[in-house]
């Protein structure tokens, strides 16, 4: 039987075209630049000095290469070397989305309960001004033995 993560990966790949179309319409703020992650094979080699990601395309190719829906399909399929990240703001300083990341680092005095209370207040305020926020906890790691 396949592991939990393999099942989820196949489900994302099966829906990659629809996910890419939705993401392109609702999340992509700009197509002239984006974050690109190196394949596992190219990470941490002597020639890249530990580089894991970069802003794509490289400066000399800017204005010639653009983010495409096909690139998002490859990203959602989980293809090694196809992982990308989107810029949060367009070139004209607008955005289609907002992310708020509330952390609790060991050296800080924040508590889990306090962070939850703050997150819920943000959520409630965003709803009150017309947003449809997604509230999630990213601290729970998925175990591939499920």
pLDDT given for residue 93 in this prediction: 96
How many distinct structural domains can be found in the chain?
2
Is 124 part of a structural domain of the chain? yes
Q: 45 vs 38, 42, 64, 70, 81, CA distance in Å?
A: 11, 6, 28, 28, 15
Could you tell me if 117 and 71 lie in one domain? Answer: no
Could you tell me if 70 and 29 lie in one domain? Answer: yes
Full pLDDT tens readout for the chain, 146 residues? 468 889 999 999 999 999 999 999 999 999 999 999 998 888 766 565 667 889 999 999 999 999 999 999 999 999 999 999 999 999 999 999 988 888 877 666 788 888 889 999 999 999 999 999 998 887 654 443 33
pLDDT given for residue 139 in this prediction: 62
Is 145 part of a structural domain of the chain? no
Could you tell me if 74 and 110 lie in one domain? Answer: no
Could you tell me if 87 and 33 lie in one domain? Answer: yes
pLDDT given for residue 32 in this prediction: 97
pLDDT given for residue 86 in this prediction: 96
CA-based nearest residue to 138, from 100, 81, 83: 100
- DSSP for 7-54 reads HHHHHHHHTHHHHHHHHHHHT---SS-EEEEPPGGGTT-GGGTT--EE
Cα separation, 42 vs 80, whole angstroms: 10
Is 7 part of a structural domain of the chain? yes
pLDDT given for residue 140 in this prediction: 56
Find the domain containing 59 and state its range: 1-91
Could you tell me if 130 and 82 lie in one domain? Answer: no
- Calculate Rg over the CA atoms of the chain: 18
pLDDT given for residue 142 in this prediction: 43
Is 106 part of a structural domain of the chain? yes
Could you tell me if 23 and 48 lie in one domain? Answer: yes
Supply the pTM of this predicted model: 0.74
Is 64 part of a structural domain of the chain? yes
Could you tell me if 63 and 109 lie in one domain? Answer: no
Could you tell me if 79 and 15 lie in one domain? Answer: yes
Could you tell me if 41 and 69 lie in one domain? Answer: yes
**Structure tokens, 28:** 């992509």
Could you tell me if 57 and 24 lie in one domain? Answer: yes
């Amino acid at each position: 039987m396949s592991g939990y993560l393999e099942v989820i990966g196949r489900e994302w790949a099966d829906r990659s075209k629809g996910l890419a179309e939705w993401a392109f319409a609702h999340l992509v703020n700009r197509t002239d630049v984006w974050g690109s992650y190196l394949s596992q094979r190219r990470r941490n080699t002597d020639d890249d000095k530990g580089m894991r990601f970069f802003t794509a395309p490289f400066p000399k190719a800017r204005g010639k290469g653009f983010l495409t829906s096909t690139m998002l399909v490859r990203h959602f399929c989980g293809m090694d070397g196809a992982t990308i990240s989107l810029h949060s703001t367009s070139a004209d300083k607008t955005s289609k989305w907002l992310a708020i990341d509330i952390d609790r680092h060991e050296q800080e005095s924040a508590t889990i309960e306090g962070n939850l209370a703050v997150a819920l207040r943000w959520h409630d305020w965003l709803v009150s001004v017309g947003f449809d926020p997604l509230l999630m906890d990213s601290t729970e790691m998925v175990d591939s033995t499920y």
